[in-house]
Amino acid sequence: MFYRIALAAACLFATASVGFAETVNETVKRGTPKVVGGFYSYARDDCRSTEVPQATIRQQAKLGRVEIRQFSGVVTQKGHPCVGSRQRGIEFLYTPGRGTVGADTFAIDIPFHPYVDAPSLTVRTVYFNITIQ
């Protein structure tokens, strides 16, 4: 039984592999917090929600604040193999600093087991480019 891993930012979904990185670009309105991404993993054979990773902030934002929060939600993406299933995971909330506009960046490390009984964790690093308008 293999896990499937999903990064819910701009509908990005990927199968787990050895350590890897990706970049997400998001626009945030000045003074308005926004969930800019998230992550959950599930068993491919039955869509069962699996472990919730203990993500860490690798690089903190300079113009705003980043929070890593747990969430639970139903998969609604058309064509996803687990549509209708409830998944547990984490989401990344970006809150711009008061009165700020411009470009900000931050990065999050997400360790996870790429498959059941994997002997070690794989780390996915996600870099966020935030435009505050």
Q: What is the pLDDT of residues 34-77, one digit of tens each?
A: 999 999 888 888 898 888 889 999 999 999 999 999 999 998 88
pLDDT the model gives residue 128? 98
pLDDT the model gives residue 6? 55
Distance CA 112, CA 16 (A): 9
- Res. 105: pLDDT tops 50: yes
Q: Which residue has the higher pLDDT, 88 or 20?
A: 88
CATH of the domain at 43: 2.60.40
Average confidence (pLDDT) over 23-32: 96
Helices (H) and strands (E) in the chain, counts: 0, 9
Q: Which amino acid is at 8?
A: A
In the chain, the number of structural domains is: 1
Distance CA 14, CA 9 (A): 12
- Res. 5: pLDDT tops 80: no
- Res. 15: pLDDT tops 60: no
Distance CA 47, CA 77 (A): 14
Question: Containing domain of residue 99, as a range?
Answer: 3-132
Beta bridge partners of 59: 107
Distance CA 46, CA 106 (A): 34
Distance CA 76, CA 79 (A): 9
